[in-house]
A and B are shown apart, each in its own frame.
Chain A
């Protein structure tokens, strides 16, 4: 692949020491940037020969430390695999390489009246391969589903360095087993997906967006609950808390009432008739909760103005602290009110500023804990508050992660959610696809002392060698 695509100088490697979760850092010993599937397979084969661990990396926008070489070794950068290989308009399938940026794919599909539904907040930078690794979600996943619901087939490099095709544009394969579904969300621990067949969706004929402000948090959360139980399925159902509303007002002057304690962003889409019908239902559902203000937008420009408040929320936090650390728990939607109250109480207890902006329709919380990474005491309080929040969510019947993955950052918390027996059953799957254990090791599962040995007599490898001198010459 050429020397220019192999990075080894410390200043070059520094870029790769963390992902979007800046609190966890592990620099690689080497970064290689292959240009195609076969080169990826060659790199994996060499790693296998030298017993060197490796981690695939897309744009590095992940938020769980999933693409970090926590045990040293090689980062296999997939940024050069950035081609959209085909767009089959008739069958609504696109085939692209793993390094294609999510937003590029959407831009390419738009002229055909199609879009790729999973839209993580980082879609302007994140790659489809990274989305596959984490089973990424996004704002419109409440209606359209997450990444796994839109992946039909893939080409992947196995941990033995072989190239294999999983299913295809039909979504079926000869065995009937769901190999594709298993790979999505496996965080690069089963092999490296290099090409993906994704399902495309027709752009809806009509879209209407609302920003609805409430004077009490409970009014907003109860509106969410009323929408869910009515069976109405908006394209997006997002929540912003009082702190976020204030930050957004200050940053972008979006005109939310000063009394607003919570704002919902609700989007309806479909045929014009369907949207008109749902619009009436939505207004009737919201009325009992006495919104302070309803802003709506139907044309593209108006909707973008309304979306700016939601999409700019995290940027607006920058006025308060230079960085943030966030969690990604999902809770039963009927528990939104009580869990939000508990999260705010934790913020006060640990003296941490928290902005809640999240996917309310999915019950997927994103408490953003604002921090200065150079303030060790603050970081320590944030980490403690984060753990307390996780426990609150789990106690409410929730799970640790809805779309960011476990990676390195949350691996030690897995035992809070799963029993030792369940963790052991889950961990056997790693052995099935990666018996040697070189593919993105030490991710997802807590330390080995808890669950390395399974009842099937399968022992996962403990540690791998660092790269030897001359191994890459």
Chain B
């Protein structure tokens, strides 16, 4: 792909390394700001994009409009820039206060590397997400934490941030204090916005002490009803539950439940035994009648499972990912209804999506893969059902050839969202007036900023 005519890079830009085709590693925050200023020049045909894993920033010529994000083949970026790798810790933005349980860190670091550093001090950032995510990715999406049952959402933990808006303005919000109502909470604008208004270059987060003990177990059941019964008992009887994630995928047998316990060693031990006993009492069977020890998930396996269950992180291109949201009690009833429809083929009445329920999160992730797409009538039925209990569906990812199919549902949701569309447009105008920063196509679709063209259909 030939690059359109662009103004040369500013001379002040410190390029650490260049990997053709046009992969540019910059020296850090100051250069990011320079790049933004460069991209904001009049008539500069540039768009800066955070890649789905948010580890790199890519500038695309404006000819690659948002529309192209829904095409089958992503255009190769004309050039890209990424921040230094984890080995190059920036002393000016990394600061760990082990007494006050506060960490300031550049956002390009992966959660894995942050947790590794913290573990040396017996501290932890209590976010159960794919360890491969960067902090930037976690802040940009603000996804549901797998350990929602025992922790608060991401915005609670982020007490300070340094961000650069789309038009290159710097915003230092909050600081190293755990409570703050000094002006508007800018973190609430940046977090979960996929960096479409500003990019967080560093963040200050609160930490917790690592628990004395932690143990994870994986339970299986062919029956959704039985699995829900187990979840209910575990919530009632155990005191150390850190997380419960129930999931069903096409590749695996029946329903699985990942349970993590954490806290005081003796309490965790007691709860682990109790969980196994409840499993047996309820008559649940593992496929091979494995002894309790084999249900235990080792630390390395837990990291892999956590990565696999973080569905919104790098979803497969050829998939449809939606979040069904309603209060957990309503989702519970809804799941039971599905179980009654078919005890052996769960959720058969809407083209069997794969399902991942983080217990306590008030949301269920639904994922369809190619050749198993839901029809729009199914989606509308789900939407209406969820609206009855003040819930709904949220679109997180869609394969390009699905967009036309989704439009009836999109139009329905848009109809009740006109105020939000107006606010979103003003946010974009206020913080990224030249539309330099990338907007996720799913959000662009919901906000009426983009409608499918002929070229976007399959």
Contact = CB atoms under 8 A, between A and B. Distances in A.
B267 A273 contact: yes
Contacts of B18: none
B150 interface: no
A403 interface: yes
B182 A455 contact: no
Given A149-B156, A169-B327, A429-B430, A186 B175 contact: no
Contacts of A399: 174-175, 177, 180, 182
Contacts of A229: 98-101
B52 interface: no
B413 interface: yes
B21 interface: no
Contact of A422 (B173, B417, B429, B443): B173
B433 interface: yes
A87 B393 CA distance: 24
A170 B326 contact: yes
B99 A172 contact: no
Specify which of A171, A176, A330, A331 lies most central, judged by the most chain B CB atoms within 10 Å of its CB: A176
B179 A414 contact: no
Interface in B86-136: 97-102
B357 interface: no
Nearest to B208: A231
Interface string B155-183: 11000000001010111111111111111
A426 B183 CA distance: 8
B446 interface: yes
Interface in B43-61: none
Chain B interface size, under 10 / 10 to 19 / 20 to 34 / 35 or more: 35 or more
B152 interface: yes
Contacts of A414: 182-183
A303 to B, nearest CB: 22
Contacts of B390: 153, 168-170
A229 B185 CA distance: 26
B401 interface: no
A249 interface: no
Interface string A68-103: 000000000000000000001011010000000000
Nearest to B390: A168
Interface in B130-147: 142
Contacts of A177: 192-193, 420, 424
Interface in A180-226: 181-182, 184-186, 225
A454 B426 CA distance: 14
Specify which of A158, A184, A363, A428 lies most central, judged by the most chain B CB atoms within 10 Å of its CB: A428
Contact of A137 (B100, B179, B413, B424): B179
Contact of A178 (B98, B170, B180, B191): B191
Contacts of B100: 228-229, 332-334
A289 B330 CA distance: 50
Interface stretch (A251-259, A372-380, A431-439): A431-439
B248 interface: no
B185 A185 contact: yes
Given A93-B327, A172-B362, A178-B142, A405 B419 contact: no
A406 B443 CA distance: 33
Interface stretch (A45-53, A140-148, A240-248, A310-318): A140-148
Nearest to B211: A231
Nearest to A274: B239
A332 B176 contact: yes
Nearest to B428: A432
Contacts of A429: 184, 186, 189, 430
B328 interface: yes
Contacts of A174: 392-394, 413, 417, 420, 446
B178 A362 contact: yes
B391 interface: yes
B172 A185 contact: no
A174 B188 CA distance: 16
A333 B100 CA distance: 7
Given A176-B394, A444-B183, 9 more contacts: A91-B329, A158-B419, A175-B446, A175-B447, A274-B267, A333-B178, A422-B172, A431-B426, A456-B167
Q: Which 6 pairs across A and B sit closest by C-beta, in order of nearness?
A: A231-B209, A172-B325, A91-B327, A170-B362, A181-B188, A402-B179
